[in-house]
Structure 1
Amino acid sequence: MTRLPEAFLRLPLAHRAYHDKTQGRPENSRAAIRAAIDAGYGIEIDLQLTADGQAVVFHDYELKRLTGATGTVRQHSAQELAEIALSNGDGETVPGFAEVLEIVAGQVPLLVELKDQDGAMGPDTGALEAATAKALEGYEGPLAVMSFNPHSMAEMARLAPDVPRGLTTSGYDPEDWPLKAETCAYLREIPDFDRVAACFISHEAKDLSRPRVGALHDAGVPVLCWTIRSPEAEAEARKRADNITFESYAAPMPS
């Protein structure tokens, strides 16, 4: 089984990179990624799939919130997205995953979340995983992949078995998720951890007291958490989690 590199347990992970739109650093942007590297933070980013089967670094399915453009990421080619400006980004556009890998180049740990492409956490996966695995060929440095969708990580296990993989997990309150109640109930207990040969979880911070999370941690599974937005929240999360994914403040570096 692959293991999560030690750096992921030591360096705070900047959520969607070290973003601050007031400083011209939109989330998941090149500027935010470079700022995280300069600060010595690890980086968490998101991947979506383009119309021509490429992986790009972008959180939402829709373009509107982060660019002002219309439509979804999947309706545009990688080249078209490379020409769509990010809001508050000083002309920055949607970056491709391969380009981001070149920027990071192993300097800090990189945590890569593959966004669910099925729409209901089901088995309609494969294209984004294939694009991700192809981009990762030859990459050197601390890197891990994760997804809320266990089927995505099962596919990554097949395509890139040597890349550490985990599950992004949650309390799955049905009021917060556009999923069936039974799907929320299923995913809530993290039943696929062994099936996908995961080596860590990244769990919703407010749900860290869940017994299943504690049991995994007691068994030696690294527990990361999301998303921490204050020193007070960080202090509370670190009582149960090995590391944090943070935004909106400067997380302290380890001494």
Structure 2
Amino acid sequence: MSSNKFLRNLLVGGALAAGAAAWAIKPRSFTDKQHNYVPAVPDVWYAHRGLHDAGSGLTPQYAVESGEYVARARTMAMKAGYGDPSVTTAIAPENSLAAFAAAAEAGYGIELDLQLSADGQVVVLHDPDLKRVAGDPRRVAELTYDELTGIALFGNDAPGTAVASAPASVAPSGYFQHVPLFSDVLRVVAGRVPLIVEYKFDDNAVFGPREEELMEKGDALLQAYDGPYVIESFNPRAVEWYKEHRPEVCRGQLSWPAEVNGEGGVAEWAAGLLVFDFLSRPDFVAYDWKGGNSPQVRAARAMGATAVSWTVRSSDELAQCDDWFDRHIFEAFVPVR
């Protein structure tokens, strides 16, 4: 093969590969958005798991700014009617009604996570188990909602705690927060601020009857809700579910720059490249803040996708990623815009 023919084949192959990659990560078309009257992701700051005084992000690494954040969470939660100055433990732990009420009082949007309890209730919690947030190793999927109400989130822990201590054998007396029903969260927020609702699954490569059940029940609650929201998931089949069943809802693909030899293997690495977006044609890409400058996020944004960062935890991190994102999910610091 002559060098000219080899070079021509190489260029053609590269162009085909680039075209295939662009097709794979292309977001929903502008025409589709117009046809279905799809709203944009509301332009506000989104409090990660609510505005909380115990939980995710409250580690020594972020101690310089997190004190102000914790104080604001407690002040806003008490303003909303949760706890009082005499409560020395957490008032508004992450993913609690108090944390969501605090965020709404402060005027922040809210990012939260949905999963199913053992009795098929749609509850709000990020982790598959209660080990980190309550010191209890049992899984949410193994507990009924009634059982969840007796487990205190960070019940014996001081404000600013990132990981809960060992649980009490019985529900503590006095004030505490527990895993809430999604319906109660919607009642508390009452349309005051926009929501980013994540459908949460143990295995994002699986989409079976239980995953379908969560989609149907979560969506039924949202259809009855009078307030702004968008949905997202790491599972491209969940985002595709909204494409097929509720095209009028703004939908987003969650992802991050996974390593090919990481825990999720090749599939998770490919998902990080957004190559499964052809299934769902998302309106926005919610991406790890460290990956905003990646070619795939920049390409998706150039083709019309809104870029949403997760999760920014300091002013320094915001300064590093702000140019690459249109919206931010934050915690552990009080953003100033």
Gaps of 5+ in 1: none
Counterpart for residue 46 of structure 2 = 13
| Cα shift at 1:174 | 5.2
When Rg is computed on C-alpha atoms for both structures, the one with the higher figure is: 2
| Cα shift at 1:98 | 0.8
Give the alignment partner of residue 69 of structure 1, picking from 103, 115, 136. Answer: 136
Instruction: Work out whether 1:235 is the aligned partner of 2:319.
Output: yes
CA deviation vs aligned residue, 1:73-131 (integer Å, no higher than 9, x gap): 000122222232211484111101111011111110100111124x2423333121112
Give the alignment partner of residue 220 of structure 2, picking from 124, 130, 134. Answer: 134
Counterpart for residue 36 of structure 1 = 103
Counterpart for residue 155 of structure 1 = 241
Structure 1 Cα separation of the partners of residues 321 and 39 of structure 2: 20
DSSP 3-state at the match of 1:226:
strand
Instruction: Work out whether 1:165 is the aligned partner of 2:251.
Output: yes
With the length of structure 1 as denominator, give the TM-score of the two structures. 0.90
CA contact (8 A) 2:92 2:177 kept: no
* One-letter amino acid matched to 1:48: Q
- Choose 93-102 or 60-69, whichever is displaced more: 60-69
Structure 2 Cα separation of the partners of residues 30 and 245 of structure 1: 18
Counterpart for residue 115 of structure 1 = 200
| Cα shift at 1:38 | 1.1
CA deviation vs aligned residue, 1:126-168 (integer Å, no higher than 9, x gap): 1211121121122122101101110111223334333221111
Question: CA separation of 1:144/1:120 partners in 2, compared to 1, >3 Å: closer, same or farther?
Answer: closer
Structure with larger RCO (C-alpha < 8 A, sep 6+): 2
* One-letter amino acid matched to 1:5: A
Structure 1 Cα separation of the partners of residues 259 and 186 of structure 2: 34
Structure 2 Cα separation of the partners of residues 31 and 145 of structure 1: 22
Q: What root-mean-square deviation, in Å, do the aligned CA atoms of Structure 1 and Structure 2 show?
A: 1.9
**Between structures 1 and 2, the one with greater helix share:** 2
Counterpart for residue 82 of structure 1 = 149
* One-letter amino acid matched to 2:319: A
- Choose 98-107 or 158-167, whichever is displaced more: 158-167
Structure 1 Cα separation of the partners of residues 263 and 117 of structure 2: 22
| Cα shift at 1:6 | 4.8
* One-letter amino acid matched to 1:178: E
- Choose 193-202 or 209-218, whichever is displaced more: 193-202
Gaps of 5+ in 2: 1-31, 55-69, 75-90, 157-174
Counterpart for residue 223 of structure 1 = 307
| Cα shift at 1:27 | 0.7
Structure 2 Cα separation of the partners of residues 111 and 56 of structure 1: 15
CA contact (8 A) 2:270 2:276 kept: no
- How do residues 159-198 of structure 1 correspond to structure 2 at under 5 angstroms? 159-173=245-259, 178-179=263-264, 181-198=265-282
* One-letter amino acid matched to 2:138: G
Counterpart for residue 106 of structure 1 = 191
Question: What is the count of residue pairs matched by the alignment?
Answer: 248
CA deviation vs aligned residue, 1:54-88 (integer Å, no higher than 9, x gap): 21110100112112233100001222222322114
- Choose 181-190 or 16-25, whichever is displaced more: 16-25
Structure 1 Cα separation of the partners of residues 204 and 253 of structure 2: 16
DSSP 3-state at the match of 2:226:
coil
CA contact (8 A) 1:4 1:200 kept: no
Counterpart for residue 49 of structure 1 = 116
Counterpart for residue 91 of structure 1 = 176
